[in-house]
Amino acid sequence: MNADRLAVLGGTPAVTSPAPRWPDFDERDRRALIDVLESGVWGGYHEAVGELEGRLAAAHEARYGIATSNGTVSLEIALTAAGVGPGDEVIVPPVSFVASATAIARIGAVPVFADVEPETITLDPARATAALTPRTRAIMLVHFAGCPADLDRFVPLCTEHNLALIEDCAHAPGASWRGRPVGSFGAFGSFSFQASKNLTAGEGGMLVTNDPDLAESARSIMNQGRRSGGAWYEHVRLGTNARLTGFQGALLLVQLDRLPGQNRKRADAADRLRSALRDLTGFTPHPPVGDPRVTGHAWHIFSMRYDASAYQNVPRERAIDALATEGVPVSAGYPHPLYRNPLFADHPHRVEPCPVAEAYCREAIWLPHHALLGTPRWIDGVVGAFRKVSVGIGALREVRSAREGT
């Protein structure tokens, strides 16, 4: 009987072992770090960084890789190198990490928030088209959760209107669209190696591009405005220091070896969860139906829509508490669309109507990518927890959740 009783009400949790740890490492990572330590090349340029640039670019079918210190500054560099400047408008989805929009504001350009598609939660091409003005210079496409945005629509849209297409691939290393990896469909693809990401060294970033001139500009801005082949104290443009260290480069090379296998594992677990959740009204995965054009989803986030009306209007926060207490590491994700952050009161921006983004931020439940690295048995335990909560959730109508401040 106790097995049916929700853990949040004193029952036994459905999942008794934790999700796989993240970040993951073994002796190879340790060795790589020690090698850099002993090389004495702690700053400046370490050959591991060059190797990483080549390998990550090749993995995304791009000719050039430019390592940076993080995925925020890489977006700022990409925009600047692509010719976006003060007063220019850049269309961006409001469902993303704040950096997708602040990178635009930090270079003096104007983020224009346009709504996302309800299935993929990526920028809606029709909404983006409606947001164009003569001042629009670029589109910042976010492959949210690891799912490529509609590149069939955005590539011609940018060509037609002479806009720079920047792909924010922070969630999407290894994702692909019609068999082609994301990152080189437009001017730049930008990656983040921050601690929560599928490919991580704690911090770090990378730009990829197929354009030699853009690559040279980005590399120069990243490295204090120096030029390739130039003297150390020769600075040809306004740059910054956004270099990645050899420690991060060497660690990322080992992590990159694991990425394809981990992404396959994530995809298998996502398939398993998606088919199980099909029977549970009220927890609908994004996208609800697979799109054959998405040939690789990086599953940085397994995102679901919680429909409270299917569960006697029990609020999402109580469902999250119930699942978390069952041992499933869920969260509510971004609390609101980006334009609701107080920072935008002080920075020029424009907000197009975004009802889909608003609803999404009220209704989403997230499972992080490292949970998808659990064994099939562990994933079945997660499925069991969802079933248990969906059956017992009615009992939570009168119980205030911890998040609501009991």
Ligand X SMILES: Cc1ncc(COP(=O)(O)O)c(C=O)c1O
User: Known catalytic residues?
Assistant: 97, 168, 171, 194, 197, 226, 233, 243
- The answer to whether 81 and 218 are in contact (CB under 8 A) is yes
CB-nearer residue toward ligand X: 100 or 210: 100
Contact call for residue 249 and ligand X (CB under 6 A): no
Contact call for residue 71 and ligand X (CB under 6 A): yes
- The answer to whether 141 and 166 are in contact (CB under 8 A) is yes
Which stretch of DSSP H or E encloses residue 387? helix 376-392
Q: By CB under 6 A, name the one of 176, 194, 248, 262 that touches ligand X.
A: 194
Using the contact rule CB under 6 A, the part of the chain among 4-12, 110-118, 164-172, 250-258 near ligand X is: 164-172
Contact call for residue 166 and ligand X (CB under 6 A): no
Shortest Cβ distance from residue 358 to ligand X (Å)?
19
- The answer to whether 82 and 211 are in contact (CB under 8 A) is no
What is the edge-to-edge ordering of all strands in the sheet holding 294-296?
Answer: 180-181, 176-177, 294-296
Q: List the interface residues with ligand X, window 130-149 (CB under 6 A).
A: 142
Q: By CB under 6 A, name the one of 90, 110, 158, 170 that touches ligand X.
A: 170
Q: Which residue's Cβ has the minimum distance to ligand X?
A: 71
Using the contact rule CB under 6 A, the part of the chain among 14-22, 165-173, 290-298, 367-375 near ligand X is: 165-173
Count of residues that bind ligand X according to CB under 6 A: 14
Q: By CB under 6 A, name the one of 115, 168, 211, 321 that touches ligand X.
A: 168
Contact call for residue 76 and ligand X (CB under 6 A): no
Nearest residue to 59 via CA among 172, 166, 181, 147? 181
- The answer to whether 73 and 106 are in contact (CB under 8 A) is no
Q: Round the CA-based radius of gyration of the chain to a whole number and report it.
A: 22
Using the contact rule CB under 6 A, the part of the chain among 2-10, 121-129, 167-175, 347-355 near ligand X is: 167-175
Shortest Cβ distance from residue 51 to ligand X (Å)?
20
Exposed (0-12), middle (13-18) or buried (19+): which is 263, by Cβ within 10 Å? Answer: buried
Contact call for residue 401 and ligand X (CB under 6 A): no
Contact call for residue 205 and ligand X (CB under 6 A): yes
Shortest Cβ distance from residue 201 to ligand X (Å)?
10
Contact call for residue 96 and ligand X (CB under 6 A): yes
Buried b (16+ CB within 10 A) or exposed e, 388-406: bbbebbeebeeeebeeeee
Contact call for residue 303 and ligand X (CB under 6 A): no
CA distance 281 to 21: 30
CB-nearer residue toward ligand X: 356 or 393: 356
Shortest Cβ distance from residue 354 to ligand X (Å)?
17
CA distance 192 to 250: 16
Buried b (16+ CB within 10 A) or exposed e, 341-355: beebeeeebebbebe
Q: By CB under 6 A, name the one of 32, 33, 100, 199 that touches ligand X.
A: 100
CA distance 209 to 31: 31
CB-nearer residue toward ligand X: 158 or 242: 242
Nearest residue to 168 via CA among 288, 79, 263? 79
Read off the tokens for 227. 């030029």
Q: By CB under 6 A, name the one of 97, 113, 311, 360 that touches ligand X.
A: 97
Read off the tokens for 69. 């210190």
Shortest Cβ distance from residue 333 to ligand X (Å)?
11
Using the contact rule CB under 6 A, the part of the chain among 77-85, 92-100, 209-217, 397-405 near ligand X is: 92-100
Contact call for residue 99 and ligand X (CB under 6 A): yes
Nearest residue to 80 via CA among 52, 42, 107? 107
Q: By CB under 6 A, name the one of 15, 70, 77, 138 that touches ligand X.
A: 70
- The residues that touch ligand X, with contacts defined as CB under 6 A, are 70-72, 96-97, 99-100, 142, 168, 170-171, 192, 194, 205
